[in-house]
Amino acid sequence: MSDLKPQTRHIADRLESPLKLAVFSWPSLLLVVAIALFILNSFMSPYFLSAWSLSDATFNFTEKAIIAFAMALLIISGEIDLSVAAIIALSSTIMGLCLQLGFGTSELVFVGLFVGVLCGAFNGTLVVGLGLPSIVVTIGTMSFFRGISFIILGDQAFNGYPAEFAFFGQGYVWWVISFEFVLFLFVALVYFVLLHKTNFGRQIFVIGNNATAAQFSGVRVKRIKFILFCLVGLMSGIAAILLTSRLGSTRPSIAQGWELEVITMVVLGGISILGGSGTIQGVFIAAFIMGLISFGLGLLNVPGIVMSIFIGALLIIVIALPIIAGKIKSRLKA
Amino acid sequence: MQNSVIKLSGISKSFPGVKALQNVELELYRGQVTSLIGENGAGKSTLVKTMTGIYQPDEGEISVNGKVVVLGSAHDAFSHGITAIHQETVLFDEMSVAENIYLGHTPKTKFKTINWKKLYSNATNILKDIGASHINAQTKLKEISIANKHLVAVARALSVEADIVIMDEPTAALSHKEIEDLFQLVEKLKNDGKAILFISHKFDEIYKIAERYTVFRDGQMVGRGMLSDTSQDEIVQMMVGRSVDQIFPKRNASIGAPVLHVENYNHPTEFADINFELNKGEILGFYGLVGAGRSELMQALFGITKPSSGTLTISGQEITLKGPADAVNAGIVYLPEERGKQGVVLDLPIVENISLPSLHTTSKNGFLKMANEFALARKYAERLDLRAASLSQNAGTLSGGNQQKVVIAKWLAVEPNIIILDEPTKGIDIGSKAAVHSFMAELVAEGLSVIMVSSEIPEVMGMSDRIIVMRDGLMVDIFQNNEDLSAETLIRSAAGIEEQVA
């Protein structure tokens, strides 16, 4: 019916340049905060600006950040996994058990990853298969996984990991650049590409915004959510290997409370806790900020319990901030 | 001549792009039931909302017992003795029956706490009044059946001192037995001297319970009177009115071989015994009342719900759909009725909405190629004359009609063979409506096949080659859409009215 369309109207791709949008984004703000913290730390301690102490500081966040990248994807899709720290404990415990059976380094690594994926798949099956809310499921598996570790270990610890195994958590690739830090950069890159440059990543955003419309558009919502739970499990398995290697031992209380730090990192990175938006760049910078904060508090000799108060407060602030900002915005409009 | 209890005169109400009510009149009388009749979109719900204080009319006045009143809020309507029983009433599962009935006007003690004793005894009395003494006022709402919940909703409506009772399709969710009970209740309300407005699509119910009728069409009152001296045929004629006045595009598609076979499709609750064929280049209309099972059937054909039995054959190949992704691969796409919930992702850009099901073609080895996505989105957005400033603006910033174009663009981009449109022009402006209609004509001319679910008679008759009528989950008729088919026939078939022999 050509008479209804006398001429085609041209529609622009974009009206605002991507560069301008990037400058006024949450990650840019985070970057400013990170630089400020860096300067603050260097004034507070004369030792901070040495290559080795900077390198040491990275261990504060690399393991958590490796989980945080996968967690970011899961939270964007509208789910959450609170059992990550418990997965580390179980994965580390099973590695320790296999160590007693005489497993070598490569087998231990395989076991660590395998247990992680298995735990993730277990969470995924309960959430996707049975349609249970992930927050409830993973509160349950949080106790469940760590409970198994306690049963196996009691108040004992597994020690005596092989010397080669120590490389993952203690080794250096070049000068002060640790293996963990390189792995962190690599994982960040992989997740950046996965979330922002692939069809899979696009579908995660769509699911998080409107899972029904995603399903009605032919997106395999359940499959993608299941894969994301497995990915979080896998990354927790990797973190378990790194942490076990770094500590050189396994206790059932290993990585206690990490789930909150991981989630704080994700939310601070600008991932909406309600799902549907956020960037890997943001989480990447947030990881550095968390590292700088805990390093700085360490320099001030702040005890651990105060640190956890600080993390809790930070979590509330970063969740509340965008919601309050949104309210102010809509009030200004009205 | 009896005086009316409530009189609406000259009421007009407009929404952007739509004149929902134009200068309508309505009067209700003590001890009588007036039935409000009209097609979907005729303005019945708008009128109910005007009478219950949810909408304010742009023009006209409402008088209760001869005095002009302003109904500024739902509370105003209550205080003038107007109460409504809606099709779907919001009730609270975790509260007791009595609390639900008296929510908002709970009897209080002198310390301003809830007077439980009085609450329960009042609730028990009301339940007894409406013939529902089998419901215990103290049970939690979630523990009683759906039909009983409906009675609680009725009790709630009558718990305020009301002279005017509006019933908006109260029988839609009820079984035969429950409808009988409801009618007894209506008789009782009549005897109590209440003025009742009864909205229903079912003629047998209307003739059974009502004395008077008022017919609406396209937001205007087109007739009123006593049912005792008006035949069903006359009323149907008023509903449909003069011949279809919308202009529908001329069709010059040649209808080819069958592309889709549905055999013995059954669903445990929504539909049964569905058998039909869809031909290449054909528009197949599905007409029926709301709740006839049409959307549910379409969603089963798109793989969202699973049929309990039956076979689906597409282009000669039998196929089992595990999900919508399978349907899309098989060349079937579905434009859902609930556009905002199921169609578009409001907080994502237009381009991402359009490219979503086509990502495998725009991308390379699973990696996004934004340039391809923009090209694809532009191609279809411009073809549909989408009114947007840029393809990167969120779909939620568009008007309803343009959002619908985004959903259509999304599906055209996958180059389907069969497109299912579920109420494609519901709630969109006239201009977009015409664009959607002309586009349907283009599609079939290109050899696509279209299934269109519509509750609008002009649309169904203006666009379809054949029309299937569904009622209560069953296919009741298949009509060839030619000069012999009248709107009256379709309405009768959908509502289950026997042909009257004059």
Residues B335-366: tens digit of each pLDDT: 998 888 899 999 999 999 999 999 999 999 89
Flag whether A80 is in a domain: yes
What pLDDT is recorded for position A3? 42
Flag whether A9 is in a domain: no
Cβ atoms B481, B467 nearer than 8 A: yes
User: How many structural domains comprise chain A?
Assistant: 1
Number of Cβ atoms within 10 Å of the Cβ of A125: 15
Q: In sequence order, what are the beta bridge partners of A116?
A: none
B270 vs A59, B149, B313, B455, CA distance in Å?
58, 21, 21, 18
The CA distance from A143 to A82, in Å, is 10
* B87, pLDDT greater than 80: no
* B72, pLDDT greater than 80: yes
Closest residue of chain B to A219, computed from CA coordinates: B325
**Which range has the top average pLDDT, A66-80, B154-168, B207-221?**
A66-80
User: What ipTM describes this predicted complex?
Assistant: 0.85
Closest Cα in chain B, distance from residue A197 (Å):
5
| Domain CATH code at residue B152 | 3.40.50.300
Tell if the CB–CB gap between B345 and A218 is shorter than 8 Å. Answer: no
- pLDDT band, very low/low/confident/very high, at A73 (cuts 50, 70, 90): very high
Flag whether B371 is in a domain: yes
Flag whether A74 is in a domain: yes
Flag whether A117 is in a domain: yes
Same domain, B347 and B450: no
Flag whether A26 is in a domain: no
User: Taking Cα atoms as reference points, which of B440, B404, B408 lies closest to residue B425?
Assistant: B404
Dihedral over Cα of B331, B336, B341, B344: its sign: positive
A332's CB contacts (< 8 A; 6+ apart) are none
The CA distance from B424 to B426, in Å, is 6
What pLDDT is recorded for position A4? 44
Flag whether B245 is in a domain: no
Same domain, B372 and B267: no
Flag whether B478 is in a domain: yes
Tell if the CB–CB gap between A13 and B374 is shorter than 8 Å. Answer: yes
Same domain, B433 and B410: no
Measured between beta carbons, which residues in chain A are less than 8 angstroms from residue B343?
213, 216
Please indicate if any CB of chain A lies within 8 Å of the CB of B331. no
Same domain, B196 and B322: no
When comparing pLDDT for A177 and B458, which is higher? A177
Buried b (16+ CB within 10 A) or exposed e, B93-128: eeebbbbbbbeeebbeeeeeeebeeebbebbbebbe
Flag whether B400 is in a domain: yes
Q: Which strands make up the sheet holding B4-15, listed edge to edge?
A: B18-29, B4-15, B59-64, B67-69
Strands (DSSP E) found in A55-213: 172-174, 177-178
Q: In sequence order, what are the beta bridge partners of B67?
A: B64
Helix (H, G, I), strand (E, B), or coil: what is residue A130? helix
Flag whether B249 is in a domain: no
Tell if the CB–CB gap between A213 and B385 is shorter than 8 Å. Answer: no
Closest Cα in chain B, distance from residue A205 (Å):
9
Flag whether B65 is in a domain: yes
Structure token digits, residue A225? 């959510």
Tell if the CB–CB gap between B346 and A209 is shorter than 8 Å. Answer: yes
Q: What digits encode the pLDDT tens for the residues A11-62? A: 888 887 777 777 778 888 889 888 988 898 888 878 788 888 888 888 889 9
Cβ atoms B228, B253 nearer than 8 A: no
What pLDDT is recorded for position A190? 97
Flag whether A19 is in a domain: no
What pLDDT is recorded for position B244? 41
- Ranges B98-107, B270-279, B358-367: which has the least confidence: B98-107
What is the average pLDDT value for chain A, to the nearest integer?
90
Same domain, B39 and B96: yes
Same domain, B111 and B124: yes
Please indicate if any CB of chain A lies within 8 Å of the CB of B463. no
Average pLDDT on A305-310 reads: 81
Measured between beta carbons, which residues in chain A are less than 8 angstroms from residue B327?
218
Tokens 């995603």 label which residue? A214
Percent of residues, chain B, with pLDDT higher than 70 = 93
Same domain, B407 and B439: no
Helix (H, G, I), strand (E, B), or coil: what is residue A173? strand
Domain boundary among B386, B414, B442: B414
Q: Which strands make up the sheet holding B317-319, listed edge to edge?
A: B274-279, B258-266, B309-314, B317-319
Same domain, B311 and B400: no
What pLDDT is recorded for position A1? 39
Number of Cβ atoms within 10 Å of the Cβ of B91: 18
Flag whether A283 is in a domain: yes
Average pLDDT on B15-41 reads: 84
> Which range of residues forms the domain containing residue B315?
257-331+416-502
Same domain, B373 and B236: no
> Which range of residues forms the domain containing residue A129?
51-325
Pairing mode, if any, of strands B258-266 and B274-279? antiparallel
Cβ atoms B102, B115 nearer than 8 A: no
Pairing mode, if any, of strands B212-217 and B274-279? unpaired
CA B64 to chain centre: 30
Buried b (16+ CB within 10 A) or exposed e, B436-445: bbbbbbebbe
User: Taking Cα atoms as reference points, which of A128, A277, A125, A282 lies closest to residue A201?
Assistant: A277
Same domain, B316 and B198: no
Average pLDDT on A92-103 reads: 93
Average pLDDT on A221-244 reads: 97
Hey, of A1, A8, A217, which one would you mutate to test binding to chain B, going by the most B CBs within 10 A of its CB? Answer: A217
What pLDDT is recorded for position B18? 66
B396 vs A209, A210, B406, CA distance in Å?
12, 12, 11
B431's CB contacts (< 8 A; 6+ apart) are B401
When comparing pLDDT for B419 and B385, which is higher? B419
What pLDDT is recorded for position B88? 64
Measured between beta carbons, which residues in chain B are less than 8 angstroms from residue A5?
385
What pLDDT is recorded for position A6? 46
Same domain, B302 and B161: no
Please indicate if any CB of chain A lies within 8 Å of the CB of B369. no
Flag whether B246 is in a domain: no
Domain boundary among B357, B386, B414: B414
Helix (H, G, I), strand (E, B), or coil: what is residue B264? strand
B positions 294-313 inside 8 Å of A (CB):
302, 304
Closest Cα in chain B, distance from residue A204 (Å):
11
Structure token digits, residue B277? 């064929």
Q: In sequence order, what are the beta bridge partners of B347?
A: none
Q: What digits encode the pLDDT tens for the residues B277-309? A: 999 999 999 998 877 889 899 999 999 988 999
User: How many structural domains comprise chain B?
Assistant: 3
Same domain, B284 and B368: no
User: Taking Cα atoms as reference points, which of A91, A98, A103, A47 lies closest to residue A244?
Assistant: A91
> How deeply is A32 buried, as exposed, middle or buried, from its count of CB atoms within 10 A (0-12, 13-18, 19+)?
exposed
* A195, pLDDT greater than 90: yes
Number of Cβ atoms within 10 Å of the Cβ of A108: 23
Please indicate if any CB of chain A lies within 8 Å of the CB of B445. no
Q: What digits encode the pLDDT tens for the residues B242-269? A: 444 456 776 666 888 999 999 999 998 8
Instruction: Measure the CA angle with vertex A273, ends A272 and A275; round to 5°.
Output: 65
Tell if the CB–CB gap between A198 and B367 is shorter than 8 Å. Answer: yes
Cβ atoms B288, B271 nearer than 8 A: no
What pLDDT is recorded for position B14? 83
| Domain CATH code at residue A301 | 1.10.3470
B494 vs A45, A80, B31, CA distance in Å?
82, 47, 31
Flag whether A172 is in a domain: yes
